[in-house]
Amino acid sequence: MKEQLKSINFLIKIIMEENTTKRFELIKINQSEKGNKTVSARELHEFLKSKQDFSTWIKKRIKAYGFIEGRDFTLHRLMERKVWKHEYVISINMAKELAMVEKTEAGRSIRNYFIEVEKHYQEIATPKQITELSNRLKKVEEKQINFINDWSVDRFLRTNGVFKKLTVTERQQLGKLCTKEYKKITGNLPKKVQHPSYVNGQNVYPYELISKMYSSKF
């Protein structure tokens, strides 16, 4: 098993060095004595060109995607010019997942790269490792929001110019109806999109579903 893990690490190293996109060449990759590869989250944030400030970006991503300190990242608190500075050292897998969920060209390129790595990984990975990796990817992809097909109730109402026509209670009622209908159709709860006015985020649904519920009740 140890030899197999060494082979996997070696393979990933070769892929990272030879992959034609060479995205990670712009980011310094560190390697511990145990062979674990890590990346500076701050450098990845700069590479992905996120519009959010680093502190907000990394904290939201950790919370939204369930990253665990000690497994996926380590947090270092440094004093710089009499100000505490937090530096996150993240695993390569966490770096790839963060890149996957970014809605930028750089993020999409890294996602394609990750798919290629996964293909090579499957060639020598055990069935258990493949299942664990697939489940992890599925959870990440399920949380991605498609802003063309996924609509919140508020966004639907504002787009159609009827937001102010409904009271807060009526908007909440519409949201509950949409959730009930969505669960009835899919058997699942709807995805959520982050929103500053909602602690737990807003549910999102297909446009047609909200339109149907709105027309039937209002």
Task: For residue range 122-145, list pLDDT tens digits in order.
Answer: 555 566 766 776 677 666 666 666
DSSP SS3 for 152: coil
pTM beyond 0.75: the answer is: no
Cα separation of 31 and 50, whole Å? 26
147, part of any domain:
no
Tokens of 217: 């009740």
Please tell me the total count of domains within the chain: 2
Tokens of 119: 């293909």
- Same domain, residue pair 96 and 116: yes
Find tokens 């519409």 and name the residue: 174
- Same domain, residue pair 162 and 136: no
Strand partners, 86: 77
- In terms of phi and psi (left: phi > 0; alpha: psi -120 to 50; beta: otherwise), the region of 143 is alpha
Domain closes at, from 118, 142, 166? 142
Instruction: Report which of 18, 21, 17 is spatially closest to residue 47, judged by C-alpha positions.
Output: 21
Cα separation of 133 and 121, whole Å? 10
177, part of any domain:
yes
By residue range, what is the domain housing residue 97?
2-142
Per-residue pLDDT of 153-200, as tens digits, reads: 998 999 999 999 999 999 999 999 999 999 999 998 998 877 666 667
First to last CA, the chain: 62
- Same domain, residue pair 211 and 112: no
- Same domain, residue pair 30 and 93: yes
- Same domain, residue pair 7 and 52: yes
- Same domain, residue pair 111 and 204: no
Beta strands 37-40; 73-80: pairing state: unpaired
148, part of any domain:
no
Domain closes at, from 91, 112, 142? 142
- Same domain, residue pair 171 and 138: no
DSSP SS3 for 88: strand
Which DSSP state fits 195? E
- Same domain, residue pair 124 and 175: no
